[in-house]
């Protein structure tokens, strides 16, 4: 029963658009009333009606250690006791920058901001300031935060400039955004060569996590890197999700493909609002106060967020077995989905990498936005409802990704597998 959640939701709708502060939380895609969470610990969420759920969104990938990790929580408490915001430089920012730069070899300097969206926005400004060019290429289905110039989708042609994908965005904001097809080498080479003298940057999610989970073709990533090198275009890896998720470091190191500018978020904040963009010293010295590219923020380098992120990164650095553990648990779930799919005759394709996975309700491989869209969203909604009733909290949309955390126990995994079987049998 979610009696209290329903009452809160009715009140919230009068005060907050859609009753939520981020659209996917509305449960609109699964036809339910959103669950309102009051607390979390380890792998669990507790709602306002005291229902307990095994959590597989983990604040959309942020909580790699699980909720309320005692070490991280203690560091946050200490930081709060000293003050929540100073608006000045702090020593902890320097230590945080050092641990990031030590972990990611393409990053020699960083600038801290307050969200992944802000980091992407600033990285693009930096690329334009560094190259003196204006256009940016993104890939269909890749999400880079709610930056005006990147909320675009492709048109029907191969070579299409951006059309706003949201009301309230002037066409002039997106006329410098070029679209190419993810994992499509032929299309990507054609587009980059056409705009090679105008492109400041190519921005990409090395692993897509916002059209469900879509894995990169390594030949495709290498082609993007080769073409950007050849034409003096900066390559931006949006690693808000993948940074410190696949291993202790970046997806660049995981795949052996370097980017010029790296964008980070989620895990590096330990559950607190944070974002980072970083690059070589040569590029980063274009940022004010050293250079002409202006970017600032009152809460950038917030001491509480910085302490939480630093504590999380130290745990991950000092305990490399964490990555093996969470990957094994995710793989166990993947095998369970595949077994249940065959047993109950429900078409499923499960994309997974490391501790990320996503079941698509269709019978073909999902390699890009177009194939992801073919998934049966009615089946996903029905599956979601059964899983929620069983006490398993999943992304309330087919086009999001599940995350396994270090706090998930094998009991959690076994309970989840039982629920998967009930859900697919129900379909």
Give the model's pLDDT for residue 174: 78
How much of the chain exceeds pLDDT 70, in percent?
Answer: 97
Could you read off the pLDDT of 310-329 as tens digits, one per residue? Answer: 999 999 999 999 999 999 99
Average pLDDT in the 271-284 region?
98
Q: Where residue 158 falls among pLDDT bands split at 50, 70, 90? A: very low
pLDDT confidence of residue 39: 97
Predicted confidence (pLDDT) at residue 169 exceeds the cutoff of 90: no
**pLDDT at site 394:** 98
Q: What average pLDDT does the segment 276-281 reach?
A: 98
pLDDT at 151: 75
CATH class held by domain 3-68+320-426 = alpha beta
Is 87 buried (19+), middle (13-18) or exposed (0-12) by CB count in 10 A?
Answer: exposed
2/5 Cα distance (integer angstroms): 5
pLDDT confidence of residue 153: 55
Tokens found for residue 151? 């909320």
Domain boundaries, the chain: 3-68+320-426, 70-318
Q: Please state the rounded mean pLDDT for residues 383-407.
A: 97
Does residue 172 have a pLDDT over 80? Answer: no
* CA quadruple 92, 97, 100, 104: dihedral, nearest 10: -170
Q: What pLDDT score does 152 carry?
A: 72
pLDDT of residue 164: 61
For residue 298, report the phi and psi dihedrals to the nearest 5 degrees: -60, -45
**Which residues on adjacent β-strands are paired with residue 357?**
352, 402
Mean pLDDT (the chain, rounded): 94
Cα 348 from Cα 361, distance rounded (Å): 5
- Length of the chain counted residue by residue: 427
Answer yes or no: is pLDDT of 233 > 60.
Answer: yes
Closest CA to 120 of 188, 66, 177, 70: 177
State pTM to two decimals. 0.95
Residue 163 pLDDT exceeds 70: no
DSSP letters for 225-273: HHHHHHTTPEEEEEETTTTTTSSSS-HHHHHT---SEEEEEGGGGTTS-
Q: CATH assignment of 70-318?
A: 3.40.640.10
H or E element at residue 192: helix 185-194
Could you count the other beta carbons within 10 Å of the beta carbon of residue 300?
20
In this predicted structure, what is the pLDDT of residue 168?
80
Q: How confident is the model at residue 154 (pLDDT cuts 50, 70, 90)?
A: very low
pLDDT of residue 225: 98
Q: Exposed e or buried b for every residue in 401-416, given b needs 16+ CB within 10 A?
A: bbbbbbbbeeebbeeb
Higher pLDDT, 165 or 63: 63
Q: State residue 131 phi and psi, 5-degree precision.
A: -90, -20
State the pLDDT confidence band at 165, using cuts at 50, 70 and 90: low
Cα 233 to Cα 180: distance, rounded to the nearest angstrom: 15
Give the tens place of pLDDT for each residue, 188-198.
Answer: 999 999 999 99
CB atoms within 10 A of CB 390: 16
Output the pLDDT for position 157. Answer: 33
Provide, rounded to the nearest whole percent, the portion of the chain with pLDDT above 90: 91
Centroid of chain to Cα 179: 20
What tokens were used for 395? 């992304």
Annotated active-site positions, please? 143, 238, 266
29 Cβ contact list (under 8 Å, min separation 6): 377, 381, 396, 397, 398
Note the pLDDT tens digit of each residue in 64-78.
Answer: 999 999 999 999 999
């Amino acid at each position: 029963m979610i009696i209290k959640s329903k009452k809160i939701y009715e009140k919230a709708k009068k005060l907050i658009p859609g009753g939520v502060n981020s659209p996917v939380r509305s449960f609109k895609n699964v036809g339910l009333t959103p669950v309102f969470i009051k607390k979390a610990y380890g792998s669990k969420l507790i709602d306002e009606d005291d229902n307990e759920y095994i959590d597989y969104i983990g604040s959309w990938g942020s909580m790699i250690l699980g909720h309320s990790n005692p070490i991280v929580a203690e560091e946050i408490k200490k930081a709060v006791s000293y003050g929540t915001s100073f608006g000045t430089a702090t020593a902890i920012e320097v230590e945080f920058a050092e641990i990031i730069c030590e972990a990611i070899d393409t990053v020699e300097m960083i600038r801290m901001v307050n969200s992944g969206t802000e980091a992407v926005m600033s990285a693009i400004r930096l690329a334009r300031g560094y190259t003196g060019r204006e256009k940016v290429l993104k890939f269909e289905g890749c999400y880079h935060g709610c930056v005006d110039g990147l909320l675009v989708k492709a048109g029907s042609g191969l070579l299409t400039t951006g059309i706003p994908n949201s009301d309230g965005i002037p066409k002039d904001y997106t006329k410098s955004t070029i679209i190419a097809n993810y994992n499509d080498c032929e299309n990507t080479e054609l587009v980059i060569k056409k705009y090679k003298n105008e492109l400041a940057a190519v921005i990409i999610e090395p692993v897509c996590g916002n059209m469900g989970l879509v894995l990169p073709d390594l030949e495709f990533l290498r082609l993007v890197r080769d073409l950007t090198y050849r034409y003096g275009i900066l390559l931006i890896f949006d690693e808000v999700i993948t940074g410190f998720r696949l291993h202790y470091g970046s997806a660049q190191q995981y795949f052996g493909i370097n980017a010029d500018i790296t964008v980070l978020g989620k895990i590096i904040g330990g559950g607190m609002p944070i974002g980072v963009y970083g690059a070589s010293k040569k590029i980063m010295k274009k940022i004010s106060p050293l250079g002409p590219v202006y970017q600032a923020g009152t809460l950038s380098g917030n001491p509480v967020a910085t302490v939480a992120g630093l504590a999380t990164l130290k745990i991950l650095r000092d305990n490399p077995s964490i990555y093996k553990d969470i990957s094994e648990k995710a793989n166990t779930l993947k095998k369970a989905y595949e077994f249940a799919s065959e047993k109950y005759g429900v078409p499923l394709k499960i994309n997974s990498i490391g501790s990320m996975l996503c079941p698509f309700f269709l019978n073909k491989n999902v390699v890009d936005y177009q194939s992801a869209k073919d998934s049966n969203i009615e089946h996903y909604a029905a599956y979601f409802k059964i899983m929620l009733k069983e006490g398993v909290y999943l992304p309330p949309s087919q086009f999001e990704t599940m995350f396994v955390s270090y706090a998930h126990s094998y009991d959690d995994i076994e309970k989840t597998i039982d629920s998967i079987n009930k859900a697919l049998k129900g379909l």
